[in-house]
Structure 1
Amino acid sequence: MAFGNGSTLSSAAKGMLDKDVVLPGGPEDTISALRWSPVANHLAAASWDGKVYVYDATNSTSTDTIKGVAAITVGSPVLDCDFSKDGTVAAGAAADKKIHLMDLNSSQTMTLEAHTSPVRAVRFVQVPSANAPIIASGSWDRTVRYWDMRQPQPIGALQLPERVYSMDASGPLLAAATADNHIHLVNLHGNPLQLSKSVKSPLTHQTTSVSVSADGSRWAIGGIDGRSAAQVVDEKDKSLDNLQFKCHREPHPTKKGHTDVYAVNAVAYSPAHKDVLATAGSDGTYCVWDVRKRQRLRSFPKLAGPVTALAFARDGMALAYAVGYDWARGYQHNSVTAERKVVLHRFAEAVKK
């Protein structure tokens, strides 16, 4: 299913970057993930430099007005991050096979000896049957494990057929994309230790990112082949049937009729609108889409490097994105002088469905 042609976008839909604000004291290596607090304008950034950075972006009119709140020093690449539901705890999923936590009020840290392989994803999840906040972690050891921070061992584990490449959760839904090109869905309000559904990815090639809508009714993925897809959990809902679309592609500069295809590094649903999805690409651009109307809502100019991560603020009025090298062209094209930064873009008005 094709989307509306980007060339027909109105001038209002062609977003500008001149008022974007760069966050101070940014990571020194590629940013792997960005996450907003669900209760405050706090932003976490996980980086390959071995840290999770936490910023207070309540006053974000300039770089000087954004304050660094904390930094969790891990010492090995951090592949994902998240906030607890009350915003008091930040978590990082690391290549050292552990989950690293910090209480943002006291600055106290703790570590969960989580997996037997690097931890690819971490989420604080809603499990009504539990009597405490629960953390879900997905790993290359082919498991999703659940944690009560008061206990050193996992309270449960879900075995998957392959390595977890990406994972997200919201409301009742946890979705994990695995190396065998499947998407596995879990009903957290039912049995978190049992898969409710496993489906072959609607994309032909490897999944890079997965996002769950705020109400848990939808999931979306991006792939290495410049495509994204959005699906619904309820099979009776036909609104997104077979919805997959091309993005982050551009005509080859010299070969007529040829197209350069770039990986979709990240996808993110807006917490404010379940139809609004953002995608970030190795081409150095990010876009905002209406998946129900099958339209591109915003298109932004190309940046100095690939966009490696992005996340909507809780009110949908801002979008944080990261620029850095994504290794798509191999180690020989990496440079110590490559720009690495986290940037905040505010919308003049809410991105509407």
Structure 2
Amino acid sequence: MSSLFGSANTASNSSLFGSSSTTTPATSSSFGNVQVQPELSGDRELSSPPEDSISDLSFSPQAEFLAVSSWDKKVRIYELAPNGDSQGKALYEHQGPVLSVHWSKDGTKVVSGGSDKAGRLYDLQSGQSQQIAAHDATIRSVRFVDAGNSGQQMVATASWDKTLKYWDLRSPQAVSTVQLPERTYAMDTQQKLLVVGTAERHICVFDLNNPGVIFKTIPSQLKMQTRAITCYLSANGFAVGSIEGRCAFQYVEDRDQQKSGFSFKCHRDNVTPGPRSEANVYSVNAISIHPQYGTFSTAGSDGMFHFWDKDSKHRLKGYNSLGASIPCTAFNRNGTIFAYALSYDWSKGYQFNTPNYPNVVRLHATTDEEVKPRPPKKR
């Protein structure tokens, strides 16, 4: 496989995050049950990764910077070199596990939220972080949004306190607070579309031209708890993943949903093949959209990731289990790098978070075979 990263030789990096570390190719993993796959042998690992479970990944839309949030109460920002080497660029802390991180459009700021009920903003130019949001319970998801008609980016924070709040960075008070039907489990935005998935399978759709009002609340197509939501580039719909090993492609408008909406099984394996087969079912933890092609990736508790073309209802490429959960993924700004974390996802409770469980982030150089839509079949 041709690689954006060149050869996969180990390379030393001085790191802001502690002792020097190596970017280790996937062929020489030292993380216990993490599996080696020849097709992923060119994937590189971030130097000095988090010390506890990795919760979220977000690439800068302006440069090759990757923000990583984790349960060790820290947000780390890495700079990636063309050969795949990585080094720490910045680090800031919360007072509890950090669950979500997101970049501003201009790539100058990072926002994060977590179990300390605080939203924090880090400014790359000043090197300073400050609290810019507060809730009465854990902040599950944060996003920069284009709310209203002012052209001024705001921050949206969604919490387990059953509220969504909007914050103008020039003011310490929330601009608007929206009551949600339940606790937030996932959120994403694209253009003027914001979608929040909550407990009890509610999905709240917002038109950011009128951000203080829920545009419509619809039930998830999936029968069990929502785990991930990602909006389409066209901002007319969104993909939903659940704990039942299923993914759904949904649309905002009813006519589009009737025409093109569907769901499918993924991240599950058959234990006993046959008409009465039983399956191991795994959570779909992450759905990421390719920024150029609009295709999707899914990743789950089974340690697998796949690339999908929703329009042709086709799996473009899939990989076998890497032996550890994948809690989060992200494409870089042009889709040439796919980042995925191997880390505990807490799906089996605290007792399964053993000391030898890996906490690594790998960088995979994508190919068109994996992520480019297939041409329609001739009939």
Compute the TM-score of the two structures, normalised by the length of structure 1: 0.90
C-alpha contact 2:146 2:192 (8 A) present in aligned 1: yes
User: Which runs of structure 1 show a deviation greater than 4 angstroms over 4 or more consecutive aligned residues?
Assistant: 253-256
What's the counterpart of residue 130 of structure 2? 110
What's the counterpart of residue 193 of structure 1? 212
Whole-Å separation in 1 of the counterparts to 2:273 and 2:211: 52
Task: State the Cα distance separating 1:56 from its structure 2 match.
Answer: 1.4
Change (3 A) 1:254 1:196: closer
Q: Look up the equivalent residue of 2:307 and give its one-letter code.
A: V
Change (3 A) 1:78 1:235: same
Aligned partner of 2:57 among 4, 23, 34: 34
C-alpha contact 1:304 1:339 (8 A) present in aligned 2: no
What's the counterpart of residue 44 of structure 1? 67
Task: State the Cα distance separating 1:242 from its structure 2 match.
Answer: 3.6
Whole-Å separation in 2 of the counterparts to 1:212 and 1:162: 20
1:129 partnered with 2:129: no
SS for the counterpart of 1:161 is coil
Q: Give ranges in structure 2 of 5+ residues lacking alignment.
A: 1-36, 374-379
What's the counterpart of residue 327 of structure 1? 346
Q: Give ranges in structure 1 of 5+ residues lacking alignment.
A: 1-13
Whole-Å separation in 1 of the counterparts to 2:116 and 2:101: 14
- Any idea what the Cα deviations from partners look like across 1:98-129, whole Å, max 9, x if unmatched? 10111011101110241111100000011242
- Count residues with an aligned counterpart: 335
Task: State the Cα distance separating 1:257 from its structure 2 match.
Answer: 2.9
C-alpha contact 1:15 1:301 (8 A) present in aligned 2: no
Whole-Å separation in 2 of the counterparts to 1:238 and 1:228: 15
Change (3 A) 1:344 1:239: farther
| Alignment of structure 1 residues 1-353 onto 2, 5 Å | 16-57=39-80, 59-62=81-84, 65-130=85-150, 132-188=152-208, 190-237=209-256, 241-252=260-271, 257-274=277-294, 276-349=295-368, 351-353=371-373
Whole-Å separation in 1 of the counterparts to 2:78 and 2:234: 26
**RMSD (Å), alpha carbons:** 2.0
SS for the counterpart of 2:196 is strand
User: Equivalent pairs: percent with the same residue?
Assistant: 38
Whole-Å separation in 1 of the counterparts to 2:58 and 2:217: 26
Q: Look up the equivalent residue of 1:61 and give its one-letter code.
A: N
Change (3 A) 1:100 1:75: same
Whole-Å separation in 1 of the counterparts to 2:121 and 2:194: 21
Question: After the TM superposition, which of the residue ranges 230-239 and 192-201 deviates more from structure 2?
Answer: 230-239
Whole-Å separation in 2 of the counterparts to 1:318 and 1:232: 27
SS for the counterpart of 1:102 is strand
C-alpha contact 2:148 2:211 (8 A) present in aligned 1: no
Task: State the Cα distance separating 1:336 from its structure 2 match.
Answer: 1.1
Change (3 A) 1:113 1:313: closer
Task: State the Cα distance separating 1:349 from its structure 2 match.
Answer: 3.2
- From the CA coordinates, give the structure whose radius of gyration is larger: 2
Compute the TM-score of the two structures, normalised by the length of structure 2: 0.84
C-alpha contact 1:213 1:271 (8 A) present in aligned 2: no
Task: State the Cα distance separating 1:261 from its structure 2 match.
Answer: 0.8
Whole-Å separation in 1 of the counterparts to 2:298 and 2:273: 26
Q: Look up the equivalent residue of 1:42 and give its one-letter code.
A: F
C-alpha contact 2:181 2:202 (8 A) present in aligned 1: no
Task: State the Cα distance separating 1:330 from its structure 2 match.
Answer: 2.2
Task: State the Cα distance separating 1:238 from its structure 2 match.
Answer: 5.3
SS for the counterpart of 1:117 is coil
Q: Look up the equivalent residue of 2:220 and give its one-letter code.
A: S
- Any idea what the Cα deviations from partners look like across 1:297-341, whole Å, max 9, x if unmatched? 111131130001001112122211111111222222221111111
SS for the counterpart of 1:180 is helix
Greater RCO structure (CA 8 Å; 6+ sep): 1
Whole-Å separation in 1 of the counterparts to 2:277 and 2:219: 31
C-alpha contact 1:186 1:195 (8 A) present in aligned 2: yes
